[in-house]
Structure 1
Amino acid sequence: MLVFSLGVSLGVILFLVNRKINMGYSMIVAAALLALLNGRSIPYIVNTFLHTIVSQSTITLALTVGLITVLAYLMDQYLILDRMVVSLETILRSAKLTILLAPSIMGTLLVYGGALMSCPVVGRLGDRLSISKDEKATINLLFRHTLFLIFPLSPAMILAIELGEIAAWDLIKIQFPISVFMYILGYILFIRNYKDPEIKKVNTQEYLKAIMQFLLYALPILISLLGALIFSMPFYISLLLGIGISMAINTYDKRYDTKYDMGENPLKTMYKGLKMPLVIAIIGIMFYRNIVTDMDEIYVFFGNLLEQGMPLELLIFMACAVICLSLASAQPGIAILFPIVLPLAPDYDTKLLYAMFIFTTSFLFYYISPLHLCQVLTLEYFEVGLRKLYKNYVYLIPLTFLSMVAIYVVNIF
């Protein structure tokens, strides 16, 4: 019943989203249905929902995402983003290289829902390369997450190292070819065939000027990110600083060129930038996760499967599918399966292979989960449906998984 109910709830989400229903509303309906199918009462569902919307984590996350949309809108309307992208492209000398690297660079900064910050950059560069909306969304998601398997400071990597009692370098080394393969495959599928627009040649002085311009126009983003990461500010506070810097840049620009004057109160511009559908999506995601994480049946179910002698690799695959698709996170798959599976390994090398299998499979199911926050925000931003995005994954995800299986099989036998 558990697997059936999870499948039904995920199917409801996919159906409603493809019917243009907001992701947040879709997940609220699916979460309630999941609870009912597993014998939870209506008062329980109502109490869980009320607890979700008043919890500090939901409020903080919704506020953060709302302010990210405001910052992105201001940078777009004030033409700050345009100038940042132009200067970055001048530095890298290639729009294709810029669209490939920009999401990856931002992705290392570990901001929950931060894919929204790279969306405008990918959007602008995608327009220059004449890339379709669905491929822009794919590029933003793909190159933001390609370092997930090897980035030592990611929460998933830290959790895996601690729970598995394995060396960080060992896990990174064995997963490095998978990350590189995914990166190269993404380039071949979504970027290679587009022609790089011609970029004007620059001298040394102009090149240095481009670097300074990039640092200036990237300052709202850099301050927003680094304020939280280095100075341990709440992210919504550092975002307010970024918004303030955007307004300061615009105030300076208006003195010298009227094209930067929008002719409206900055508070009105901020209000226009607030995208409520994304805020509602946060509430839906948090409600669904709270329903799922409160179900002890998940842990009991997979423990029973192991005792009945199911092939280990199939169990890992199924468990990661159910857990990571439902929770839109790789960490629960790692947290649940590492303590169960890794002690079964006869030696350290085999344990490392089991860890890779769990980690990579958890990542891939988290990556494609319809509840994956980065995916939700990216799809909302580019106004793309899940179906189109999943069509772009037809080769990318299975081939990436097979690259991991190949490494596993070669080493295990």
Structure 2
Amino acid sequence: MIALLKVSIILGIIVVLLSKNFPLSWALLGGSLIMGISFGIPFRMIMKGFWEGLSSWETIKLVLILYFIALFENILREKNLLQKMVLSLKKLIKDTRVRLISMPIIMGLLPSVGGALFSAPLLDEISKEDNIDPERKSYINYWLRHIWEPFLPIYPGIILVSILTEKPLNFFVREALPYGLATLAIGLFFAFYKANLEKANLSQESQNIGQNEDSQENLENPQETNETETSIEEIEITNPLSTFILSFLPIISLLFLVIFFHFDLLYTLIGINIVLFFILKFDFNKMKETLIHSINLQNLILIIGVMIFKRMLEITGAVSDIAYSLNYSFIPTYIIFFLLPLIIGIFTGVTSATIGITIPILLKMLPYQNPSKYLVLAFASAFLGIMVSPLHLCLVLTKEYFKPDWKKLYNYVVKSGILLAIFILLKFFLT
């Protein structure tokens, strides 16, 4: 239990630093160093762990995916496709609530941690006329994009748990569907409970849609402004339906290739970006400018910090020690199947890591009666853990984009997590 205490203290320090608006990237790097020292790891091994977290293909691929997502967005923005999509959707859908939730839910079909960067700018633009605080925007973007993760059979978590348990994928799809529906219901409740959806001052809408607000500075070079983008009032929409379909076509093409043809997300992004450069007739200078503006060092350091922290958890053996302590305790079985994935999920913020660490241990503890019921409980608890984890990259990226008050945003997340935990336990005992 000493490992649990040490990691809890470190995680607590990181959360406190976040509440003081300290950059998460540096908080994670500092926490990684403190973790190595507190577990008695030689300094040489700590530096080796830092290097492994920095140079692993998993880290490099994640950095590339997020970069090409930012490039994809900038290409669409440069040619006003995002603006046209937003305007046509506003004409097609009159209900403000439906418009707000549509983008994160649609983008959630993409099983990528970087998907938060797709829905964030779309949600931001579609809500410009509505007086919605950044905390509520952040919550909607984060929580509702994950309604698919428990049961959609293209997400890595459900695929991995099916492989590790040697149970059919459709079993977990069927059993986990209620958790996705519960996540949606909870998200809708907190998204609109006591929400002020009155129209904002329309004079503010005369600003150029390409002019970055503070909430968008992390995705573009703050030293530059794009003078070619068009004011939203200057874009004329004659056929909203066809305009929406055409402007949404690059995104739907990406989703279709990844979901139905199982193309690798990184290489699909590279291919689609190249095609868009030629179809949308970018000249060499504009292409070069867009490529440079899509680089964001802050996000790069942040991703590196997350991956180094994850690597240090592995090197110190902290996660294994915590799992071992719970495994050989006198705690009731159902509590272990609920708590272990929950704790690991909170500590890592990564679904595949949580499943990969906990399921092999829990398989050795399966009771003879209703073993499948306990596996589903563990899977649902892992999902709950990563959803309330302050280290969840989608939450971190959303926070960096909208710049909300961290305490208020995390308060939404924690309350939602409590309701989801109650639902998970009720379903376990009542089914």
- TM > 0.5 fold call: yes
| Deviation per residue, 1:138-164 (Å, 9 max, x gap) | 101111101222212322112222323
Match of 1:82 in 2: 83
Q: Does 1:409 align with 2:410?
A: no
| Deviation per residue, 1:271-311 (Å, 9 max, x gap) | 33432211111111111111112343532442343333222
| Deviation per residue, 1:34-70 (Å, 9 max, x gap) | 1111111111111222233233322222122123223
Distance 2:142 2:419 in 1: 17
Q: CA deviation at 1:114?
A: 1.5
Whether the 8 Å CA contact 1:220–1:243 is kept in 2: the answer is no
Q: Does 1:190 align with 2:191?
A: yes
Q: CA deviation at 1:358?
A: 0.9
Aligned residues: 391
Question: For structure 1, which segment, 398-407 or 65-74, has the greater mean C-alpha deviation from structure 2 after superposition?
Answer: 65-74
> Structure 1 residues 72, 401: CA separation in 2 closer, same or farther (over 3 Å shift)?
same
TM-score normalised to structure 1 length: 0.83
Distance 1:70 1:59 in 2: 16
Q: CA RMSD in A?
A: 3.0
Alignment partner of 2:393 out of 342, 366, 373: 373
Whether the 8 Å CA contact 1:101–1:143 is kept in 2: the answer is no
Whether the 8 Å CA contact 1:106–1:144 is kept in 2: the answer is yes
Match of 1:179 in 2: 180
Whether the 8 Å CA contact 1:223–1:241 is kept in 2: the answer is no
| Unaligned segments of structure 1, at least 5 residues | 198-206, 255-263
Match of 1:356 in 2: 376
Question: For structure 1, which segment, 239-248 or 376-385, has the greater mean C-alpha deviation from structure 2 after superposition?
Answer: 239-248
Q: Does 1:286 align with 2:307?
A: yes
Q: Does 1:296 align with 2:317?
A: yes
Higher helix share: 1
Aligned letter for 2:241? Answer: I
Counterpart mapping for 1:282-361 below 5 A? 282-342=303-363, 343-347=365-369, 350-361=370-381
Q: CA deviation at 1:83?
A: 0.8
Whether the 8 Å CA contact 1:150–1:179 is kept in 2: the answer is yes
> Structure 1 residues 113, 404: CA separation in 2 closer, same or farther (over 3 Å shift)?
same
Distance 2:353 2:127 in 1: 34
Distance 1:269 1:159 in 2: 37
Q: CA deviation at 1:265?
A: 4.3
Q: Does 1:144 align with 2:166?
A: no
Whether the 8 Å CA contact 1:67–1:274 is kept in 2: the answer is no
Whether the 8 Å CA contact 2:346–2:385 is kept in 1: the answer is yes
Match of 1:200 in 2: none
Distance 2:263 2:334 in 1: 42
Distance 1:297 1:53 in 2: 20
Match of 2:409 in 1: 389
Whether the 8 Å CA contact 1:227–1:238 is kept in 2: the answer is yes
Q: CA deviation at 1:109?
A: 2.1
Q: CA deviation at 1:237?
A: 4.5
Whether the 8 Å CA contact 2:91–2:240 is kept in 1: the answer is yes
Q: Does 1:216 align with 2:246?
A: yes
Q: CA deviation at 1:123?
A: 1.0
TM-score normalised to structure 2 length: 0.80
Counterpart mapping for 1:155-170 below 5 A? 155-170=156-171
